Amino acid sequence: MKNIYTPKQYNKAMKLKKQGLGSLKISKILKIKNRSVIEGWINKSRKPLSISSINNPLSIINKINNIEKSSAELAYIVGLINGDGHLQIKKDKSAAVSFFSKHIEEIKNIDKLFIKLFSIRGHIYKDNNGYNYGYKLCFTSIYLAEYLLSIGIVEGKKIKQEYSIPNWIMKGDKKIKAAFLRGIFSAEGFITKSKQNKAIRYRAGITQYKDEKIKENCKKYLEQIKNLVEGFGISCSNVHYDGIKKRKDGGITQGFKFTFEKNGFDKFYRHIGFDNIHKNQRILEVLKENKSF
């Protein structure tokens, strides 16, 4: 088995090189017996396996240990996966983190983000989630799954569980709140067009469904999301009932939603936005049509 060296050792070696030290002296300071390892780092632009290798467990662990806590990128991932994703950890410590989208561009962009943040590349599949065909992105790392669980991503079937927006997001700065909203709206938000009294009415919003036994939690969760949206000066409707659905297992889910009118589209686009290409294109079309952008 190859020796695995840490980012801390590598960074220290590069710092010592800048101070004018050679590979022999550096290897003694770092207590690395194989001098050729240091030669590779400082003279041949090689990096340790734990830094350079994608999907290597130690690389993933090192990335997680060194990731910026409470960042906008993590808030975005929480919104996205809690919106249209799934996290599962089994008793045998096998785990999967997955995300579904109808659009391959969105899947590829998320994969790139996970490579950047966690040094892990996902597997992409064509998928039928029971409603429509699309694409599924899946990561199979227990280290990634346990970390995402620790920052607020829900494990298991979300429609059967009570949960709320993590405190670190609710108490975060505007960038963190906007990133979470961009994730959840990209996954589950909508823009509608209707006709009322011969006038066209545009609205945007978000809907959530949960098991009827925990419908109050569903409402409270949407109220949290609504409060974050209104923090950007966007006036929203009250959270209200949106109907029921019967699941394949015979259970009943109840839905709630809230909306905001097109006069809030400009602020939404500027401060939050969609990463879903088609939703983003639609809000842009409305803004240009109404000359509010």
The residue ranges of every structural domain in the chain are 7-52, 66-156, 186-289
Using alpha carbons, select from 65, 70, 51, 53 the residue that is nearest to residue 144.
65
Pick the CATH number of 186-289 from 2.60.40, 3.10.28, 1.10.3470, 3.90.350: 3.10.28
pLDDT digits (tens, 9 = 90+) for 155-200: 999 999 999 999 999 999 999 999 999 999 999 999 998 887 778 8
205, with CB counted inside 10 A (0-12, 13-18, 19+), is: buried
Using alpha carbons, select from 121, 126, 76, 119 the residue that is nearest to residue 101.
126
81/148 Cα distance (integer angstroms): 10
Length of the chain: 293
Q: Tell me the percentage of the chain whose pLDDT exceeds 70.
A: 94
Domain 66-156 and domain 186-289, same fold? Reply is yes
The pTM assigned to this predicted structure is: 0.81
Whole-Å CA distances, 144 to 63, 111, 192, 195? 10, 13, 36, 46
Q: Domain 66-156, what fold?
A: Endonuclease I-creI (3.10.28)
pLDDT digits (tens, 9 = 90+) for 47-68: 776 665 788 888 888 889 889 8
